[in-house]
Amino acid sequence: MRQPASTSDSEADELSQLRRAGRGEAEALHSLYERYAPIVFAVALRIVTNRTESEEVVQDTFLEVWRRAAEYDPRRGSPIAWIVTIGRTRAIDRLRARGAQERMLAQADAAPASARSPAELTEGREARERVQAALAELPAEQRRVLELAYFEGLSQSEIAKKTGDALGTVKTRVRLGMEKLSATLAELWRVDRP
């Protein structure tokens, strides 16, 4: 089963594909696309809530991976984290460019992603369910600040304004929430290691 932190084998495989993409091998980019486009697309749908724009985010993401693959530094995180971060950044950029009002219109217009294109991957399903369970265990206020930051691109002070909580409280929730996610990550890693 695949898991978020990736085992050494799959990480070596991803590194190899990134290196090959960096040397201009389109086949390697396609392998990375096959593996990660569904995650990037899901993140984009969650952030921009518009199918057409999310498809453009996926395009932009993998073109950026293609152009910047040679710059990838494994010390800064796994390939999947790098690719998803690019996708999330592209989606947040679009969200900011679009503005709040237009976003509300798009939300009203967009059907839930799973309703239009379920096409769920079976690979990684168990890991995802465990991640979802771990996220569900987070106190609601911690999960909310993490989601506001990650999916809406809000800074801690913007979150404080939005929720009406003190900045210090938001920072504490971010820290505690991330500590719990790290513990979940370690747990997944331990379980999935051979």
> Contacts with another protein in 12-71 (CB under 8 A)?
12, 15-16, 19-20, 23-24, 26, 29-30, 33, 37-39, 41-43, 45-46, 54-55, 58-59, 62-63, 66
Tell me: does residue 135 bind another protein (CB under 8 A): yes
Structural tokens at position 26: 């389109």
Question: Binding mask 93-112 vs another protein (x if CB under 8 A, - otherwise)?
Answer: --------------------
- Which lies closer to another protein via its Cβ, residue 12 or residue 104? 12
User: With left for phi above 0 and alpha for psi between -120 and 50, is residue 18 left, alpha or beta?
Assistant: alpha
Q: How is 157-191 classified by DSSP, letter by letter?
A: HHHHHHHT--HHHHHHHHHHHHHHHHHHHHHHHHH
DSSP state of 145: H
> CA–CA separation, 166 vs 159, rounded Å?
9
Give the interface segment with another protein, choosing from 93-101, 103-111, 155-163 (CB under 8 A): 155-163
Among 7, 141, 171, 172, binds another protein (CB under 8 A): 171
**Long-range contacts of the stretch 70-78 (C-beta < 8 A, 24+):** 70/22, 70/23, 71/22, 72/18, 72/22, 74/15, 78/5, 78/6, 78/11, 78/14
Residue 79 makes contact with another protein by CB under 8 A: no
Q: Which is nearer to another protein, 75 or 101 (CB)?
A: 75
157 forms part of the interface with another protein (CB under 8 A): yes
Of the candidates 96, 102, 109, 120, which one interacts with another protein according to CB under 8 A?
120
Shortest Å distance, C-beta 104 to another protein: 21
